[in-house]
Structure 1
């Protein structure tokens, strides 16, 4: 289906919301939530995916990853003519999971996942610093992730209509066979039988490993949606300073606001970063006023508007924000 010939309707948006709640729900479960038959639900999903409006992605659960491994936000300044080449190179790096072209004196804003600080240093000092036209980089390591995009919801369904998601615990650790499964999940809804064919394992073994990853909070499955169809076409990033004894309370409170997609504590003078999806540029000022009223301990230090999202949790995006391809997230990838 051609991207320009398809416009999602209300049923499509409800379908996306259902898969945000339960990304690997069966089509029978999804159809029951929407009041349509399973064949219709599957057909509509295929239409959304073909048009680049939605896709289920798979990546390490970043809140747990920040505790055990290494998450970082990296700001990159480039010569103006060097940006297209840098974007092309960085978009293909499996550790660089998200890329935005932003305003406010920065060129690119990256989200990076690596197993440890040594690997992060290699990515920065050898891969990023090798980019032609690089002026400088600023790296902010993440200490706590309070909330991220897999909890953000479209708001098209009532809670009672949502398919049941899986309850998760914790305590699991990444093992080589988990990494095998992650490497085969370029599509987060890929059936276990297809993952088995890719990895040379049995379908029953893959199902058990996949359940281990989800139940143990190793793996996040997220129904990624093209921002233009959400009704919130403006993305912005805020930096803030919060007293250390107020940081956890403030970060948790921010995740309850519908505009907040990501909220994380970071190292540096600015110790909190949040990304927002907003309905208009004017909402930036309104949101700032709301923060001042709700969270007086928080002092905003900088703001940047996203001029273009290039990559979001492995999904490559076109100029209109639609998903064109995926680079599977792999924090352990070699050079």
Structure 2
């Protein structure tokens, strides 16, 4: 569990600034916020320690039409931890949490090719004796999450400051579907360890000139196949409770319900999915009471909602990150409430 820290207005502004543009220079951030770049550097070092904050590059398959699924696995309580950790070792799982009193594993997966999910969903999981039920939800549409970090929608910055720190061409908005190729692997491995790595370091790792490395990075970011994310402990900010909502909306209301949930500050990610429930929302809240108020005051007031199920997340088993050798691994994130989508 993260230690208790006190964060002032500038700390929160810096966190929102990084969510808007994780590669913004200290001088640019300082100019917008009216402080020196030395102050920005000092405060970000403090946040790095207090929030376990890291800026990382993340590959995003959605702009390229790649499959993403969320799996809900009913599990025998005495086997939940072992199964969750076995799933965490797989390279195609990105987030794994224990929910429902330890009898449910929720697992986010991303597959590089259509059909790759069959090996896991139709092969390995059904043959695992301790798994009593499998529900597979394919992600059909992302309303919020992924490149749009939870704190990016905060109000720590004024609208003018937020606009000044937002890239002119947001990720995935230039229409080019640029998939990372084999030549990009070295550059991506550096960014997956440090999303703020200097262009000179990217050029050295990839064997490109600095101008070519900068152009390739810009192409990948603009296409949306790569985005810069900020990992941090929301528990240290006082948001200690996370829950997943499985909402069943009437087809005519599906889009409106998804958009309404995505507009709420409690929502860290909202997706339209296949399955009995057709909207999945990840909530980051201060306490259980805030989850209750969200259910009764927000979801309960939406037209077209037929049914809602709540899965309280007890513990994170895996959050996608990379170690110093560039190897994909699942780092235990006990008490963390951040969600990337």
Q: TM-score, normalised by structure 2?
A: 0.82
| Matching residue of 2:325 | none
Alignment of structure 1 residues 67-216 onto 2, 5 Å: 68-103=65-100, 106-125=103-122, 128=125, 133-148=130-145, 150-153=148-151, 154-162=154-162, 163-166=164-167, 167-168=169-170, 169=173, 170-176=175-181, 177-186=183-192, 187-216=194-223
Q: Which range is displaced more, 235-244 or 119-128?
A: 119-128
Q: 1:241 to 1:136 in 2, by over 3 A?
A: closer
Cα shift readout 1:131-155 (whole Å, capped 9, x = no counterpart): 6844443211111111115242243
**Cα distance in 1 for residues equivalent to 2:5 and 2:274:** 44
Is 2:233 aligned against 1:226? yes
SS state at 1:90 partner: helix
Classify the secondary structure of the residue corresponding to 1:117: coil
Change (3 A) 1:289 1:7: closer
Q: Out of 249, 257, 261, which is 1:254 matched to?
A: 261
Q: Which runs of 5+ in 2 are unaligned?
A: 322-329
Number of aligned residues: 320
Matched, 1:319 2:334: yes
Aligned partner of residue 300 in structure 1, secondary structure: strand
Shift of 1:317: 4.2
Distance in 2 separating the partners of 1:231 and 1:300? 29
Classify 1:94/1:181 alpha carbon distance in 2 versus 1 (closer, same or farther; 3 Å). farther
CA change 1:192–1:199 in 2 (3 A) is: same
Give the drift of 1:51.
4.5
Give the distance between the partners of 1:138 and 1:256, measured in 2 at CA.
27
Task: Please tell me the root mean square deviation across aligned C-alpha atoms, in Å.
Answer: 2.8
User: 1:109 deviation in Å?
Assistant: 0.8
> What is the aligned partner in structure 2 of residue 304 from structure 1?
311
Match of 2:296 in 1: 289
Preserved contact between residue 63 and residue 177 of structure 2 (Cα < 8 Å): no
Q: TM-score, normalised by structure 1?
A: 0.84
> Structure 1: 5+ residue runs without aligned partners?
324-328, 330-335
* Aligned pairs (5 A) from 1:3-42: 4=3, 8-42=7-41
Name the CA shift for 1:36/1:87 in 2 (closer, same or farther; >3 Å): farther
**Pair 1:102–1:180, CA change in 2 (3 A):** same
For residues 132 and 43 of structure 1, what CA distance do their matches in structure 2 show? 52
Separation in 2, partners of 1:98, 1:84: 14
